[in-house]
Structure 1
């Protein structure tokens, strides 16, 4: 199950970033819901929310450590819990997607922009970021539901 989740999300991430590069790179962007939701190309040299901009080596090592940790935990525990498998696969896929960008381009392609008119802009993100975020929330749900004190 984990291999399927990783393969599907990683492929979706690569395809959407390829699309963003080909369609959005030289354009103003595409408004999906005017004043709220756009697709616009951004080369992010930092981490989430643009933090640690320019720290490529550090930002490349972190996902490698996360991936090694996830692989170790998976093979050590051999969990049967679907929620835990799904969350681990989603985090791994997102880490791989952004790691691929950093290794081959030196930046991560972001293109999903959520904002309120020109008053507030949430940091631009991508499919890999969504996968990491959702996977993290699923782990929180798992801990709250299954882990006892």
Structure 2
């Protein structure tokens, strides 16, 4: 179980480190090209959630994040012991949620920096990547779980 919490801590540390580097080295709204036409780093601040929805609603984000973190820890302890894929999903979601929560607590906005040049997509950060990976793993887990349940029902018939 400790491995999953260490994973979440590594995600939080990497997220906060990249945000620190961005704030210290790239002026706000400036872009540093990394892989031409593919990837760049742009110092951006997001006062909301994805695509700046619910901009400035910090109290809402505080409450939702505390609830999400509590639920994730509960599920990690109860169901994570039974399935590694589920536990990995929870650890990525936990790390991503806390990474962005730290920004909201300290700055009332989230520092974003990763920008895809080949597609018009919102600028994001390591915590956002972790959340996306965690949700993707959860979807994969749910599909596998449904297949397992279907096979068990079919064998039991």
Q: Within the alignment, does 1:135 sit opposite 2:137 as a pair?
A: no
User: How many aligned residue pairs are there?
Assistant: 146
2:101 maps to 99
TM-score by length of 1: 0.91
Match runs of 1:78-89 below 5 Å: 79-89=81-91
Q: Kindly state the Cα deviation for residue 71 of structure 1 after the two structures are TM-superposed.
A: 1.3
Residue 76 and residue 125 in structure 1: after superposition, are their counterparts in 2 closer, same or farther (change >3 A)? Answer: same
RMSD: 1.6
Q: Which moved more, 1:127-136 or 1:27-36?
A: 27-36
Q: Which structure would you say has the larger Rg?
A: 2
Q: Kindly state the Cα deviation for residue 26 of structure 1 after the two structures are TM-superposed.
A: 4.8
1:64 maps to 66
TM-score by length of 2: 0.86
Residue 78 and residue 124 in structure 1: after superposition, are their counterparts in 2 closer, same or farther (change >3 A)? Answer: closer
Q: Which ranges of structure 1 fall in alignment gaps of 5 or more residues?
A: none
Match runs of 1:38-49 below 5 Å: 38-49=40-51
